[in-house]
């Protein structure tokens, strides 16, 4: 009988599979990201220098302004108004004499009554600047009462421009307020602004 031949089974080579990397836990991942953030320098955003428009308003030709005039020195100018009267008042810095001139005449001659004189001098006396400055006025329109109040309004604005501390005293006395009252115009069909003709039944 034939002898049984020994069957040899091929030996399979053991292939070692590479070990799968373990997934890092969330805590370790966050710890690493924090460490990277601490070590890595922060990128500072460079702002582009843009020329922004200046917030300072442009100089406006206001009613109260300081003007430099050749051969006249520096003076402060203000405009006062009342009814239809307009007064342009100037205060000469470093004036030679302490006086008030209205339309080229002394103020006491231009405003002869005591009421008008008290009205013109009241803002200067309220701030303690009476007989300390050389003031010239040019006033036009209206009557003597309206012109006197216009000069008072202009002088009050001068004092405010000269020293802003005077604002409290001037405002309290009401010298800085422009009085808007004026004569009401005549209406057609009426004898005046409000006066109606007498009613006649027959």
Of 97, 179, 85, the residue nearest 136 (C-alpha): 97
* pTM over the 0.85 mark: no
Domain ranges of the chain: 68-173
Q: What is the CATH number assigned to the segment(s) 68-173?
A: 3.30.230.10
Predicted pLDDT at 20? 55
Predicted pLDDT at 70? 42
Mean pLDDT of the chain: 78
Predicted pLDDT at 72? 46
Predicted pLDDT at 132? 87
Positions in the chain whose pLDDT score sits under 70: 1-73
Predicted pLDDT at 111? 96
């Amino acid at each position: 009988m034939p002898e049984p031949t020994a069957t040899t089974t091929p030996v399979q080579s053991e292939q070692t599979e590479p070990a799968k990397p373990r997934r890092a836990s969330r805590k370790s991942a966050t710890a690493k990201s924090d460490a990277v953030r601490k070590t890595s320098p922060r990128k500072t955003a460079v702002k582009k220098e843009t020329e922004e428009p200046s917030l300072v308003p442009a100089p406006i030709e206001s009613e109260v302004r300081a003007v430099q005039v050749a051969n006249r020195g520096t003076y402060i100018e203000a405009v006062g108004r009342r009814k239809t009267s307009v007064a342009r008042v100037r205060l000469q810095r470093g004036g030679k004499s302490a006086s008030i001139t209205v339309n080229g005449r002394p103020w006491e001659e231009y405003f002869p009554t005591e009421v008008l004189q008290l009205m013109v001098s009241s803002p200067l006396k309220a701030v303690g600047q009476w007989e300390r400055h050389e003031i010239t006025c040019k006033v036009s329109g209206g009557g003597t009462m309206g012109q006197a109040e216009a000069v008072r309004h202009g002088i009050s604005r001068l004092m405010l421009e000269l020293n802003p501390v005077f604002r409290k005293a001037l405002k309290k006395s009401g010298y800085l307020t422009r009085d808007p009252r004026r004569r009401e115009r005549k209406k057609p069909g009426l004898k005046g602004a409000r006066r109606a003709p007498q009613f006649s039944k027959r």
